[in-house]
Structure 1
Amino acid sequence: MKAEQNLRTLTMYEMVFPSQTNHYGTLFGGEALSLMDKAAFIVASRYARRNIVTVSSDKTDFKNPIKNGQLVEIVAQVQDVGNTSLKVSVDLIGEDLRTGDRVLCTSGHFSMVALDDFGKPTAITRQIEG
């Protein structure tokens, strides 16, 4: 028996270490995009139960820096489901582990497409509301 799950939302956590930062000591933009794309891929894959690829990163806003040593909460949410595609929003929330202060740092939107075993777009037939 499977436990009922909310497959529309995914929350992951990542620590920011020096190897992920730029010369200002903040999370490198490419690292942020990688974390966001990974979360969008996972939530879309779990929701659709299909092979998924990223088609586009529609818009990303870097609102506040994420500093070395901060915890990053990555929240991905399926916003819309089409015949073969999904729109996913992703937020990165930085948290100072010493104070508990949290701030929305980065927001973006990703378009994901379901593919069949031949790499062609395929219908998303399993749409579980959660």
Structure 2
Amino acid sequence: MRKRFKKVQESTVTISELMLPSHSNFNGKIHGGYILSLLDQIAFACASKHSEVYCVTASVDTVDFLKPIEIGELVTMKASVNYVGRTSMVIGIRVEAENIQTGASKHCNSSYFSMVAKDSSGNSVEVPGLILKNHNEIRRFAKSLERRNRKRSGIAEFKSTDFASEKYLHLVEGQHVKIELED
């Protein structure tokens, strides 16, 4: 029987992988697309561990590439459930890279993935609630809620039927743009 509520640490997932030359881009750094693939995998593992069912990626809310990752560095990703709704979860992921020769470590990426729990028929299913045990977990939950609310208001604005450019001119004034309207 599934639990009605779970502690954050019950679903935390950590993975580490050595970055190989085959993971690099044309600039000799680790390709961002490869990191995104790993992020999606750990988000899936964390969400599935929390919900105890198959999960799908609904959206990637934020991916901030802070520092490049070098070939030969050991990348460690730490994922935790930051927020739960009825059928969805926000998984926060921190990426650190360590120079295995010097031991120097750097924070390279922070990401937030929205995941939805599904049953075998593809229908969304309810997920366990979250037990918040400390101020950091409360902060992460609240920040996820803020991002969710901003996203919803942005989607509502985008879906608006009023696409008159005059409504948005005040936003582009003073920006690095030249407007040449055609009749």
TM-score strictly above 0.5: yes
Mapping 1:38-57, distance limit 5 Å: 38-57=41-60
Mapping 1:80-91, distance limit 5 Å: 80-91=83-94
Equivalent residue letter for 1:51: Y
Deviation, structure 1 residue 127:
4.2
* Aligned: 1:102 with 2:105: yes
TM-score (norm 2): 0.65
Give 5+ residue unaligned stretches, structure 2. Answer: 1-7, 134-183
- Let me know the Cα RMSD of the aligned residues: 1.7
Indicate which of 61, 73, 77 corresponds to 2:80.
77
**Structure 2 Cα separation of the partners of residues 37 and 47 of structure 1:** 15
Tell me the number of residue pairs that the alignment of Structure 1 and Structure 2 aligns.
126
Equivalent residue letter for 1:42: A
- Find the counterpart in structure 1 of residue 30 from structure 2: 27
Deviation, structure 1 residue 128:
6.6
- Find the counterpart in structure 2 of residue 60 from structure 1: 63
Q: Runs (4+) of structure 1 moved beyond 6 Å?
A: none
Q: Does the Cα contact within 8 Å between 1:90 and 1:107 map onto a contact in 2?
A: yes
Which structure has more relative contact order (CA 8 Å, sep 6+)? It is 1
Equivalent residue letter for 1:24: N
Indicate which of 113, 116, 121 corresponds to 2:116.
113
**Structure 2 Cα separation of the partners of residues 6 and 93 of structure 1:** 19
Which one has the bigger helix percentage?
A: 2
Give 5+ residue unaligned stretches, structure 1. Answer: none
> What percentage of aligned pairs have identical amino acids?
37
